[in-house]
Amino acid sequence: MAEITLFWGEKEQPSFIWEISKNQDINQNQTAIHELESHEILKADLACLAEMAALNTVTLVLSCKDVSCAQVEVPNKAQRLLRKAVPYMLEDEMASSVDDLFFALADKSKDKLLAVRAIDREYLESILESFKQAEIKLSSIYVDIDLIKVPEEGINLVLTSSQCLSVDSEDKRWYCHQDDFSWLIQKQINNEADADELPIAIPLDIYSETETDEFIHQLPVGRFAVTSHQVENMNEFLIEQKTTPITLLQDEYEVKKENSQLTNFLTKVASIAAFVLITHLVYQGIYFYTLAEQKEQLEKQKYTLYKQAFPREKNVRNPDKKMRVHMKSVGTQSGDADFLALLMSSSELLTDLERIYPTNISYDGVKNELRLDVIASDLVVLDQYAAALKKVGHQVEKSSETQRGEGYSSRLTIRK
């Protein structure tokens, strides 16, 4: 993607000039570019650039005559607070009311001096409206004087058709007519110099498309060490400076980033994935909390049941361990072992507790018989259970059946 720079000129000028960076790959856009034979286009015909601008980034450069440049000493405050305070700090220096101006601020301040650019709000909005109607999207709006590189020492001076754009090593920027530069710079030097020590041989680099001999002869004698540079195209020269100018597209005029269809799709997918993940984590959290509550309830029930089974036990810290020790001791006694074996083989046949279930169990160790009171849904189920016990080798005696509600109760005496 190439970068197209539009030099808008002064507000009253009917035309502007477009340039494209020479180091950009423009192969894809050569057809569109060759259709524009002239680099100077009427502002009324701005729409003719729409096709070329659609495939490139577009930067607009305004004339410093239509934008006020200033530096203001500011405290170390947040940018949003400075945006409210700066207009009133410069109120006395502005020819127009600060309410009619839009102020653009530099990203960083140098030695507590913040660079500020002020432009008539109606003029800025009229430009943005013209580009909107032409369907051209602007990435940045700069001021031509901000494109000049700050010199390491002395002054960089750019001469246009009638203007002088000046930038010194302290990044102080100002402009004037060429005829006024000589006495204005002399006045500035006198104001800044000590009475006993006047500056001499200040480095002055002049950049111009035309000869500068006449201009140099008008400078104060003996004050500057002048180096003249002739450039073929001043607009291309300014583009190649690679500075970091202040963009006027800030605050409410800031360019909104547009997302591609793929980016929107990925954003939606990520949002859905995040929602599913959060829902899953919430569910797992609730599930974990529920299990913790159930575990706590089961622990309480375990202690309660152990106390009921062994009422004489006191200060039981680990009922599980106590129960394992008790079961081992039970397994070593033959009588208790017969009971457990008989109980196990009888209970295994109770496969459907909704149709038949025990209500009371007792054991006669002398006779080695298990007495099991059960309730069955009907007599057939009761007979089937008795038959199943006999099939596995038990002797079964069944007492008379008694109807209880919708079922029947009976006592089964089971022997091995």
Question: Which pair of tokens denotes residue 11?
Answer: 């507000």
CA-based nearest residue to 206, from 197, 198, 215: 215
User: In the CATH hierarchy, which fold is given to the domain comprising 1-146+243-256?
Assistant: Nucleotidyltransferase; domain 5 (3.30.420)
Q: What are phi and psi of 91, to 5 degrees?
A: -60, -40
Burial 216-227 (b: 16+ CB within 10 A, else e): eeebeeebbebe
Residues of the chain with CATH 3.30.1360.100: 335-415
Q: Determine the Cα–Cα distance for residues 33 and 4; give it in Å rounded to an integer.
A: 11
AA identity, residue 140: S
Rounded Cα gap, residues 207 and 212, in angstroms: 9
**139 contacts 255 by C-beta, under 8 angstroms:** yes
Instruction: Provide the CATH number for the domain formed by 335-415 in this structure.
Output: 3.30.1360.100
Enter the tokens of residue 219. Answer: 């400078």
Q: Please, which residues have CB within 8 angstroms of residue 239's CB and are 6 or more apart in sequence?
A: 5, 19, 21, 147
- What three-state secondary structure class fits 391? helix
CA distances, 186 to each of 158, 182, 217 (Å)? 18, 6, 14
Cα–Cα dist 413/396, whole Å: 6
Are the C-beta atoms of residues 248 and 62 closer than 8 Å to each other? yes
- The per-residue pLDDT for 22 is 58
Task: Compute φ and ψ for 18, nearest 5 degrees.
Answer: -110, 145
Yes or no: say if 16 and 40 are a contact pair by the CB < 8 Å rule: yes
Long-range contacts of 163-169 (CB under 8 A, 24+ apart): 163/64, 163/65, 165/64
Distance CA 132, CA 334 (A): 100
Domain with CATH 3.30.420.380 in the chain: 1-146+243-256
Q: Tokens 């038990």 identify what position?
A: 394
Could you give phi then psi for residue 393, rounded to 5 degrees?
Answer: 105, 10
Question: What is the pTM for the complete model shown?
Answer: 0.60
* Per-residue pLDDT of the chain in tens (416 residues, 90 and over written 9): 688 999 999 999 999 999 987 555 444 444 444 457 788 999 999 999 988 888 889 999 999 999 999 888 887 766 677 888 888 888 888 888 888 999 999 887 666 788 999 999 999 999 999 999 999 999 999 999 999 999 999 999 999 887 899 999 888 899 999 989 999 988 887 776 554 455 568 899 999 999 989 999 988 887 889 999 999 999 999 998 878 899 999 988 888 765 556 777 888 899 999 999 999 999 999 999 999 998 888 888 878 877 777 777 777 777 777 777 766 665 555 556 677 788 888 888 888 888 888 888 888 878 888 888 989 988 888 889 899 988 888 888 888 888 888 888 999 998 88
Which CATH number is associated with domain 149-233? 3.30.420.370
Q: In the chain, which segments carry CATH 3.30.420.370? A: 149-233
**What is the C-alpha to C-alpha distance for residues 82 and 79, in angstroms, rounded to an integer?**
5
At how many degrees (to 10) do helices 334-347 and 319-331 cross? Answer: 110
| 297: enclosing H helix or E strand | helix 261-309
